[in-house]
Amino acid sequence: MPRFLTLIRLDENNLPEDGFSPEMGERMGALLKEITEAGVMLDTAALTPTSQGRRVTYSGGTLTGTDGPFTETKEVIGGYSIIQAKDLAEAEEWANRFLKVHDEVWTVTCEIRQISED
């Protein structure tokens, strides 16, 4: 049963002002319960804004570090999950459910990537 890393991408400069509505928080909680009870969720977390992050690049034998925020990409990774599902279609269904708990003011992208098991 393959494992998948889902990367939640969003535009952190255009987040809904109210953030999470209470209803959305409730729906999110219910989904988390459901996906946990299905034995699917292995690990998940939200990430702090990129302004608190750091990037280190290795190129030509030298290290270069830069502070966040990472403004050159519109969408940054705002969260992740590691799930175990039978196939990509099943992982996508869970991703759909995760996306659908968001209020309509949100624009969120879920990138689903299978974890290599070799």
Partner 1 sequence: MTTASAVEAVFRIEQARVIAAAARIVRDVGIAEEIAQDALVSALEKWPDSGVPEKPGAWLTAVAKRRAVDLVRRRENYARKLAEVGRSLEHAAEPPPAEPSPDSGPEADIDDDLLRLIFTACHPVLPTRARIALTLRLLGGLTTEEIARAFLATEAAVAQRIARAKRSLAAADVPFEVPYGPDRAARLDSVLEVVYLVFNEGYSATKGDDWVRPALCEDALRLARVLAALLPNEPEVHGLAALLELQASRIPARTGPDGSPVLLADQDRTRWNRLLIRRGFAALDRAAVPGVPPGPYVLQAAIAACHAQALRYEDTDWAVIVTLYGQLAAVRPSPVVELNRAVAVAMAEGPETGLALVDAIAGDPELKDYHLLPSVRGDLLARLGRWDAAREEFLAAAALARNDRERELLLTRAERAEQPEQPGQPGRAEQSEQAERAERAAGEPGRTGPGPDVVPGG
Applying CB under 8 A, the residues found at the interface with partner 1 are 1, 30, 33, 36-40, 42-43, 82, 84, 86-87, 89-90, 92-94, 96, 100
Closest contact distance (angstroms) between CB of 48 and partner 1 is 21
Beta carbons of 28 and 20 less than 8 angstroms apart: yes
CB of 29 or CB of 69, closer to partner 1: 29
DSSP 42-56: EEEEE---GGG-EEE
CB of 20 to partner 1, least distance (A): 17
Q: Smallest distance, Å, CB 53 to partner 1?
A: 22
Please, where are the H alpha helices in the chain?
22-37, 88-100
**Residue placing its CB nearer to partner 1 in the complex, 33 or 74:** 33
**Of 93 and 103, which has the nearer Cβ to partner 1?**
93
* CA nearest to 99, candidates 8, 3, 5: 8
Q: 30 or 105: whose CB is closer to partner 1?
A: 30
Q: CB burial class (10 A; 0-12, 13-18, 19+) of residue 8?
A: buried
Residue 88 Cβ vs partner 1, minimum distance, rounded to whole Å: 9
